[in-house]
Structure 1
Amino acid sequence: MKSLKILFFVVVCTLISEGILAQENKRLDKLFEEARNDYAANRYSEAIKTGTQILQKDANYAQAHLLLAEIYKDMDSTRLEIKHLSKAVDLDNNPLIDFRLGEAFYKLGMYSEALSFYEKYKENKTIPEKRQFLLACKIASCRFAINSIQNPVDFEPTNLGEQINTPNDEYWPTPTLDGKHLVFTRLMKGSGRPQEDFFMAELDSFNWENALPISAVNTDDNEGAQTLSADAKILFFTACNRNDGMGSCDIYFSRLINGKWSEPQNAGAPLNTTSWEGQPSLSSDNKYLYFSSNRKGGKGKKDIWRIAFNGFTATGLPNWGTPENLEALNTSGDEISPFIHANNHNFYFASDTHVGMGGLDLFTATISENGQVAELKNMGYPINTHKDDLGLTISSIGDIAYFSSARESDNGLDIFSFNLDRGLQPRAVTYIKAKVSNKTTAQPVMADIELVNLNSSLAEPRIEKADINGEIMLALPVGRNYAFNVSEEGFMFYSHAMRLADANSLTDPFILNIQLEPIEVGAEMDLYNIYYETDSFAILAESEPELQKLVAFLQNNSKLRVEIQGHTDSSGNPESNLELSKLRAKSVVDYLAENGVGENRLQSEGYGDTRPVATNETVEGRRLNRRTTIKIIAK
């Protein structure tokens, strides 16, 4: 009888306990519903408080752990997210928690941990097809990151100093082609709303001078993410939510005319649309503007595009071609922060979807003259980290990179530079800086400038015009040979040879003071881009652009009679040099006659090494002495 009483007591206690537990579960379920409603209404603090209360009563309440993990993910509190996901993974057999843990560890740059959870999730047989691709990318990124950390690239950043950096944020550095100025964006945080403006600093020997605002361009609105033309006379930049805007953010421009920046204007359609456009980068030959946009017709969220820039219309507005999506660069995610190096071949951008270290990584690629993309690769660790890395620009020489970072947290974002790893350096660029004037009056001449790539018969000559001061600046990628011609109606034209095919590390620019000689009897012009086979009078194919220029000059001045003179340096036998110079001059006369110039207007003479224009003791002097001269003998 006693045993029956004991059994009855146990049963009653069990039933009471189960009832209490059921009531407690109902209370917790009700609390969880409250927490979920608070989360849905973005009342995060209330949802966290209630979720924590649930776990104090039942530490194994899996749904509360998952809800708190979701809240902390939204709040970017990744370590707390991992804490609750790690609890939930032992309480809930949902394989998606493994993927979530992989994502969280990857976000923190804990690649080995992330990889183990990604691979565990991969064992699941019911992964949606869309996530299968993402999973494969993340596994590849983890393996890439682990290997990159074990094999870092050279990276020793240097703060540019207090003349540029302040307690405010400085970012988006843009060096000029000659490396003597740096334009950047500064976010000033005063008593009012934060204000983005442009500043420019000048390099004095080895130090930057105090940066000054570009007041003519800066407004009460924000300006940022800028690019400069090679001659630093065109500024394209990003501005948002302006009265004349076409979309949320548009690209604007300002021009430096007579030493003053023009009032900024919207750069117009089809560059700008009702979508987001920003972060322009102008090629050094002014042919293309690269930019990022989330417009329709793209491959992902924000894509890299380019558009042909055909100069300015008569009304002063940019003349655009058709926008072109650079599909080989773009993914389903974001590609932003484009930068085309001054050589117009090496390209840099940021992506959050290509295989990388996490967040936005910096990538490099090459772009051919016809727009084909190749050699796309991640720039490596520690240039890239698990955080967002973007806004990289590189000097024209290709050895120094500029970027912004908050690594010195007391000052917010500062601008840094670093020596670029040799494996990441673009092909170097030098430049021509020329001033054209009338030799007789010394007045500036707005002459036509022609730059011809002699290494490519397919490349179109670049045609520009000197400004009102007779000045022009052009980028010259090394590794090529160029013919540089300057012409203006009523003047003899100017010829200069730039032999850069073998100058792998040339950094010295061409500073030219060009004095055009008016067309008069006795006037002469030396041509340096007519080439012959060694010790021969046979004209080489690369002479064609210069010879055609000469044909056009004589056809446009049809009454002129000229003497074609051949000159050599002093190397070799004087008699042989004299004979060779005569034969070469005759070869030019024959070419001109074959191309429609009347033979009665032409005569030839060779002078060997008897009329040098420079010393024969140096390589450069001998090059200047080897020339073809055109002299006017009647008009």
Structure 2
Amino acid sequence: MRFTIALLLLIISLQTTAQKTFWASRVIAFSSEYSDANTTKENKAIQALGKPNKLPLFGQSVCAWQPMTQESPLEEFLIVGFDTLMPIKQVAIAENFGQGCIVRIEAFDEFDNLKTLWVNKNMPTNEVGRMANLVLSKLTPFKVRGIKIVLNTNRVKGWNQIDAIAISQSDVPIKASINLAKNLPAEIIKENLGENVNSAYREIAPVISPDGKTLYYTRWKHPENLGTGKNQDVWFSEIQKDGKWGLAKPMGEPINNTEHNAICAISPDGKTILLNNVYLRDGSMAKGVSMSTKTPTGWAFPKPINIKNFRNKSEYAEYSFSPNGRVLILTGQFAETQGGKDIYVSFLQPDGTWAEPKNLGKKINTAEEESTPFVAADGKTLYFSTKGLSGYGNNDIFLSRRLDDTWMNWSEPENLGSVINTPEWDGYFSISAIGDYAFFSSQENAIGEEDIFKLRVPESIKPSAVVQVTGGVYNKVDNKPISAKINVQSLTDKDTVCVTYDPLTGDYKMMLPSKQSYTISASKKGFMAVSEPLDFTKDNNFKEVKKNIYLLPIEAGQKMTLNSVFFAQSKAEILDNSFPELDRIIKVMEENPTMEIMLEGHTDNQGDWNENLLLSKQRVEEVKKYLAAGGINIKRVQTQGYGSTRPISSNNSEEKRKLNRRVEVTIVKN
């Protein structure tokens, strides 16, 4: 039996020679594992499972197994199992720190017999760490169920750590690599935003407004900060006509006070911001998160967000929320932690509170601290910072994409590369809804302690494209703007987005993922909701859409088209995506118990005239039945079918014929 112990070079790309590598998936037994009053899963035996978290770099990490004591007179061991049962030709051990203590490598066969693969007869080197590769001369004559690593920690002074253990049938040495985002350009230009934004002090946590025109961030110890301690305050800068950033200004009270103030996120309409800590009326702060909304006179006093069982053991926390405003991503250390501060998700409840945070799991969180999460405008792409995944030094910025609607399943995090990430601490990655530029904090080439930078976002790490929909809500009779609640329903994944429109604070604004179709409507007491379709299924890039919404006052004689009521082809069967529109009619009639309506059915001129007339009558009768099933007395609903006799458009094309196939509702009595 022969072996080679290979010291591998640091690499940042996947190996070119294909080989099937199996990383340890479970701990079978161990002699000891590090523990103290301040740790949870840090340096436990489970940290040796899966791919390396530290290599190809070397050094201490809480994401590695570490025996309980240094330089123990007793042998230490770790036994791990794999998701396979096969003969092997190679064992790879990621010794990230204090390497040189391995004295034996043994294997358990399928009958749990222990076989010695290698005995170390060499003296330790002075290397900090390495990937140790035991390559056998041929496949083992037995199938390997588990691997046992035996250490003599007296061989090397200080702590000894093992990052990962792998097996393979290949004789090509297994290497550790950084999981880089694909197709990163060779050159990415990082631009310091200059002295109008940055200073000799520390600028961190940039939050870019959805339209990319206002940059909010946190500034430490600046002479213009409030309070004698000049703690941290929130500042902002606005883009000028020449494309440069204007001189930054502090946000002032009530956002800034004498305590530590920091902005975390901004809503898609730019009218709501999340702020770290809970603002108390006496000027003091408590752990948690607050929300402030823009009013005609400025930002309102921040109100606390009530999160169930919010008991953060960490001194720090960061927050971000989804574009629909109903999902909160936060960091903290709660009962269920992978170690230190993790990323969690909380969901908005019907009573306005937020559910108990759920840990996003091992795919995202590590035994190191995760921080600065940012959910992009597509609601699916998450950027965050950690040093618990293989990278370039201290904290690196990673991205992961949400795989389903549970918010618990994520793709394997991808490192944003060595141009964005440095050997220093990197984080606070924020991208505008347009998706063209990203803003982040970095110490590299900073004017002061830490600065705000921007870069043009490479295609491979961009979030999915969104459509920015803006506009106002108006009375259909007199065209005057009115405050209202706006609701957008996705016909693709059934997601909803709700915003409030106030004419005094400007147009409503929302970001909707492209490649989907929607219905948009507004509601206000005393008015009939009018919904309209929004079709972005063919849009692949960011675009802006102006969409004004008109509400019909509940007055006798008023008429509107139910744009979002759909039927099966040539049938009276109501399609499921019509139900939200009809439910809005039910709600209005419940709010107005004396209201009576007339439902009128219309078709285009294609096909038999008499069949069209009958179909139009059948369809409005089906609508009437739906309203009755929802609790509306059928005596309040009249029906009439007109077939193709009352077109509102020509029938020269399919697009125009669509306008003629409709259901109209007329208020008979209010």
- TM-score above 0.5: yes
Asked whether the 8 Å contact 2:311–2:334 carries over to 1, the reply is no
Please give the residue correspondences for 1:457-496 in structure 2 after superposition, counting only pairs within 5 Å: 459=495, 461-467=496-502, 469=504, 472-496=508-532
The aligned residue for residue 202 of structure 2 is: 169
Task: Provide the secondary structure at the position in 2 that maps to 1:547.
Answer: helix
- Give the counterpart of 1:199 among 225, 235, 251: 235
Residue identity opposite 1:323 in structure 2: P
Structure 1 residues 583, 267: CA separation in 2 closer, same or farther (over 3 Å shift)? Answer: closer
In structure 2, distance between residues paired with 1:413 and 1:581: 72
Bigger helix share: 1
CA distances 1:422-458 after superposition (whole Å, capped 9, x unpaired): 222222222333432434566654434332222235x
Larger Rg: 1
Asked whether the 8 Å contact 1:238–1:279 carries over to 2, the reply is yes
Q: CA deviation at 1:153?
A: 6.2
Asked whether the 8 Å contact 1:574–1:609 carries over to 2, the reply is no
Q: CA deviation at 1:372?
A: 2.0
In structure 2, distance between residues paired with 1:623 and 1:336: 50
Q: CA deviation at 1:303?
A: 0.9
Structure 1 residues 508, 142: CA separation in 2 closer, same or farther (over 3 Å shift)? Answer: farther
The aligned residue for residue 455 of structure 1 is: 492
Matched, 1:282 2:316: no
In structure 1, distance between residues paired with 2:478 and 2:182: 64
CA distances 1:284-303 after superposition (whole Å, capped 9, x unpaired): 22212222113443221111
Task: Provide the secondary structure at the position in 1 that maps to 2:427.
Answer: coil
Residue identity opposite 2:294 in structure 1: L
Structure 1 residues 205, 527: CA separation in 2 closer, same or farther (over 3 Å shift)? Answer: farther
Q: CA deviation at 1:338?
A: 0.9
Matched, 1:297 2:336: yes
Structure 1 residues 321, 221: CA separation in 2 closer, same or farther (over 3 Å shift)? Answer: same
The aligned residue for residue 182 of structure 1 is: 215
Please report the TM-score for the alignment, with normalisation by the length of structure 1: 0.69
Asked whether the 8 Å contact 2:272–2:291 carries over to 1, the reply is yes
Please give the residue correspondences for 1:489-528 in structure 2 after superposition, counting only pairs within 5 Å: 489-509=525-545, 511-528=546-563
In structure 1, distance between residues paired with 2:178 and 2:152: 24
CA distances 1:13-37 after superposition (whole Å, capped 9, x unpaired): xxxxxxxxxxxxxxxxxxxxxxxxx
Matched, 1:320 2:354: yes
Q: CA deviation at 1:194?
A: 5.3
Residue identity opposite 1:119 in structure 2: M
Structure 1 residues 194, 554: CA separation in 2 closer, same or farther (over 3 Å shift)? Answer: closer
Task: Provide the secondary structure at the position in 2 that maps to 1:409.
Answer: coil
The aligned residue for residue 432 of structure 1 is: 469
- Give the counterpart of 1:226 among 255, 264, 272: 264
Residue identity opposite 2:262 in structure 1: G
Farther off after superposition, 621-630 or 372-381:
621-630
In structure 2, distance between residues paired with 1:279 and 1:532: 47
Asked whether the 8 Å contact 2:320–2:330 carries over to 1, the reply is yes
In structure 2, distance between residues paired with 1:472 and 1:530: 25
Task: Provide the secondary structure at the position in 1 that maps to 2:239.
Answer: strand
The aligned residue for residue 437 of structure 2 is: 400
In structure 2, distance between residues paired with 1:207 and 1:362: 27
The aligned residue for residue 119 of structure 2 is: none
In structure 1, distance between residues paired with 2:626 and 2:572: 16
In structure 2, distance between residues paired with 1:616 and 1:469: 42
Matched, 1:134 2:163: yes
- Give the counterpart of 1:583 among 615, 627, 649: 615
Q: CA deviation at 1:391?
A: 0.8
Asked whether the 8 Å contact 1:158–1:418 carries over to 2, the reply is yes
Residue identity opposite 1:118 in structure 2: R
Bigger strand share: 2
Structure 1 residues 265, 549: CA separation in 2 closer, same or farther (over 3 Å shift)? Answer: closer
Residue identity opposite 2:130 in structure 1: Y
Task: Give ranges in structure 2 of 5+ residues lacking alignment.
Answer: 1-58, 61-92, 101-124, 136-148, 154-158, 167-172
- Give the counterpart of 1:562 among 597, 601, 607: 597
The aligned residue for residue 118 of structure 1 is: 130
Structure 1 residues 240, 455: CA separation in 2 closer, same or farther (over 3 Å shift)? Answer: closer
In structure 2, distance between residues paired with 1:600 and 1:403: 59
The aligned residue for residue 380 of structure 2 is: 345
In structure 1, distance between residues paired with 2:610 and 2:431: 49
Q: CA deviation at 1:533?
A: 4.3
In structure 1, distance between residues paired with 2:330 and 2:586: 41
Asked whether the 8 Å contact 1:493–1:525 carries over to 2, the reply is no
Asked whether the 8 Å contact 2:98–2:160 carries over to 1, the reply is no
In structure 2, distance between residues paired with 1:451 and 1:214: 32
Aligned residues: 516
